[in-house]
Amino acid sequence: MGTRTLPFRKRLCPVSRQHQVIMTWCLKMARRELMQAAGNLLLYSGKYTCLLRLAEHKLHNPLQRRFFCIHVQLIEKQPKENCNLVNRLENMGVDVCMARKRQPGVLKKMITHEKGLTDFLQDKGANKNLVASVISRYPRSITRTHEHLEKKWEIWHGILKSDSEVLKVLERSPESFFRSSNIANLEKNVEFLSSVGLTSKQLARLMVKAPRTFANRMELNQQMVDYLNDLHVGLGGENTTEFVKQIITKNMFLLSQSITRVKANIEFLQTALKLSNRELLLLLQGYGADLLDLCHDYVKLNFRNIKFQLLALGCTDEQVIHFVFRYPPLLYLSPNTFSDKIDCILKSGIHIQQILDKPRVLDVGINTLTTRISRLQDIGYNFQKDGIGLLEFSKTRFEAKFKKLL
């Protein structure tokens, strides 16, 4: 008889019967411990499902002397929408699709206060359409309790002086009213910003345009004000309170930004425009304040584009700096927008120097510019002789002036 050949695995690793029995027992005990651990984990996790994966080839191979591990993946069950809530909102006239896009988590809540919100707002003079619009645009409003609404309304009423004015703000921007859930922090912010010198009208504008200001911790707003105070003193200013008030009223979004961003933009403006401390102070108290909340990289990109375009048209560095200094909002214009407007004006025969003298003409939309230039050219208007000031007029002023030219 031929010699019996063992399978490949056994030929490489001959083991005794006793050894096999011991290893089998060890594997059974290991599996038992694993199942017990998995059961404990399932009980502990509650709403999670545990998926256990084991490398079986490592367990069945008695020669493996490596530690094995369990791969556990926790999958959180996503709660479904509250169908009863969705039906109630639809019956109220709420645009559920809009609400779902804006704050989908609200539609999954089991406890909400949409009826209380409706009764409260209607008691203040709101109609059903306004209530439905508010919930559609800011669904989180239905999570506010009656007590919360009463306290917040009292604060707003103290600033705006009447329920109808609060409703007007609520209609324009429901987020501005419902965003902050911390009443104590809201009170601190109102008190602090009033101490800075902001009037009720200015506080109201701030609430509408930059509601995050009032959701910030009061300490963060105070840090920005302190920074502006130090900046003003460092630049040689004499009326710090008025300076801070001017900056905030000119740029309502400033308090919603980080000091790092504001500081970077100020330093760039001073360096790029080669400004003295006094010139920088004048810039910030004017149009320059509008730029401080912009992305720093965006400001730099637009400035470099303006410089590149104007230098290519024969302007000097000094002309570029003077151009931007006279009207800093030019830095809002993206490279493509700036290029398109410059090309549109120059094609009509207007000289680049005329644009440098009237930078606000670039505030006008390109379609409006094209139409106005064409209409003026049709009646024989001479841009070289009579200037380009008409192009930057408001619609009403332009039409009135155009009639006089006919």
Is the Cβ–Cβ distance between 94 and 128 less than 8 Å? no
SS3 397: helix
Residue 176 has pLDDT above 50, yes or no: yes
Beta bridge partners of 107: none
The encoded tokens of residue 324 equal 């931007």
**Distance from chain centroid for Cα 338:** 25
The encoded tokens of residue 140 equal 């989180």
* Main-chain dihedrals φ then ψ at residue 157, nearest 5 degrees: -60, -35
The pLDDT, as a whole number, for residue 52 is 38
Is the Cβ–Cβ distance between 181 and 144 less than 8 Å? yes
Give the CATH superfamily of 182-294.
Transcription termination factor 3, mitochondrial (1.25.70.10)
Percent of the chain at pLDDT exceeding 70: 81
Q: Which of 14-23, 51-60, 394-403 has the lowest mean pLDDT?
A: 51-60
The pLDDT, as a whole number, for residue 310 is 96
The pLDDT, as a whole number, for residue 35 is 57
Is the Cβ–Cβ distance between 331 and 364 less than 8 Å? no
- 95 residue type, one letter: D
Tell whether pTM > 0.75.
no
Tens-place pLDDT, residues 75-130: 455 678 999 999 999 999 999 999 999 999 999 999 999 999 999 999 999 999 99
Task: Determine the Cα–Cα distance for residues 40 and 394; give it in Å rounded to an integer.
Answer: 73
The pLDDT confidence band at residue 46, using thresholds 50, 70 and 90, is very low
The pLDDT, as a whole number, for residue 406 is 84
**Distance from chain centroid for Cα 375:** 41
Task: Determine the Cα–Cα distance for residues 45 and 131; give it in Å rounded to an integer.
Answer: 41
Identify the CA nearest to 92 among candidates 54, 128, 57.
128
Residue 51 has pLDDT above 60, yes or no: no
The pLDDT confidence band at residue 358, using thresholds 50, 70 and 90, is very high
The encoded tokens of residue 162 equal 């009447």
The residue extents of the domains of the chain are: 8-76, 79-178, 182-294
The pLDDT, as a whole number, for residue 290 is 92
Identify the CA nearest to 402 among candidates 370, 366, 378.
378
Beta bridge partners of 76: 48
